[in-house]
Amino acid sequence: MGEVDPAFIQDPEHRPKLSIIQAEGIPIVDLSPITNHEVSDPSSIEGLVKEIGNACKEWGFFQVTNHGVPLSLRQRIEKASRLFFAQTPEEKKKYSRDESSTTGYYDAEHTKNVRDWKEVFDFLAKDPTFIPATSDEHDDRVTRWTNPSPEYPPNFSDIIKEYIEEVEKLSFKLLELIALSLGLEPKRFEDFFVKDQTSFIRLNHYPPCPYPHLALGVGRHKDGGALTVLAQDEVGGLEVKRKAYQEWVRVKPTPDAYIVNVGDIIQVWSNDAYESVEHRVMVNSEKERFSIPFFFNPGHDTEVKPLEELTNEQNPSKYRPYKWGKFLVHRKESNFKKQNTENVQVYHYKIV
């Protein structure tokens, strides 16, 4: 992966803190009431909605079991991911991302964010995905991103597409539960995603790191989209910052479960009822780690703003509206061009 950046060693903001709560941490939610067709008790659905709401409010993160995604399919994509990353650097770089299409392979060594100790392969849920050509608010042009087609492992793209289809179904179910927990109609969020959604999947590989006390798999950050649904292996490494105590909590892997977190968009839609929470990934000196997050994002022309049903005179809108596509492109542009200002964040739209 390369040398550790000397500047990183001197950067206390990004270096791992030693005081970590060693706990299982985030809530575990059983989705049987909506995935088991034999369960028909309305009270079990109500209890599930309450659990989801409490988890979103108190943590911004939760794990789900009995989620309905076939285990055999998850095993297939995990195996395919390992095979892809086991190839030589030359083979993987045939599918490197660039400014015209930000999907495909990249290694943090070849970006400005050298602190992140990982390699990645991104794949769009919708091919093509339509996106603004630039982040300029006055530029109405639209371009499109497309997926690469690696030849190895065999049927790689087909496996990813099949997996995305199943995790997308889960994501829609989760959005319904979140909507209900906010007192909204269950399908309230659906229209933002049915046309031109910008969702994508990411295959992550974190090699063993010889300096685990100096590096991070992924630095502290919040997810800019709506919802993230993460599959991680048994090695673990994900840490979540619990709002109540501002301490980092290590998430103990639960076999076959998914880790779910709300992103900035749901924070804005809910008018801060739910908060997108900081998280990071720690590296391991002995074991490699694999994870597969699915980033569930709305269409590029979605205007993100607090929902009318959740605002009133006593609880006025806390954010100015912004276009999701422009926000996303601004974030992507920073991967290739050095910015003179801080990368766009959701708090830039906060009404003070």
CATH class as words, domain 6-349? mainly beta
Domain coordinates of the chain in residue numbers? 6-349
Contact 179, 186 (CB under 8 A): yes
List the beta bridge partners of residue 276: none
- pLDDT by 10s per residue, the chain, length 352: 444 444 433 344 444 443 333 345 799 999 999 987 765 677 889 999 999 999 999 999 999 999 999 999 999 999 999 999 999 999 999 999 987 778 999 986 655 455 678 999 999 999 999 999 999 999 999 999 999 999 999 999 999 999 999 999 999 999 999 999 999 999 999 999 998 999 999 999 999 988 777 777 888 999 999 999 999 999 989 999 987 788 999 999 899 999 999 999 999 999 999 999 999 999 888 999 999 999 999 999 999 999 999 999 999 999 999 999 999 999 887 654 544 556 789 999 999 8
Write b or e for each residue in 235-255: b if 16 or more Cβ atoms lie within 10 A of its Cβ, otherwise e. Answer: ebbbbbbbeeeeebbbbebbe
Q: What is the identity of the amino acid at 121? A: F
CA distance 326 to 133: 9
> pTM for the whole thing?
0.90
Contacts of 331 (CB under 8 A, 6+ apart): 224, 343, 344
Question: What's the DSSP call for residue 285?
Answer: S
Angle between helices 156-181 and 42-58 (to 10 degrees): 100
CA distance 240 to 218: 12
Query: What tokens does 332 get?
Result: 């992507």
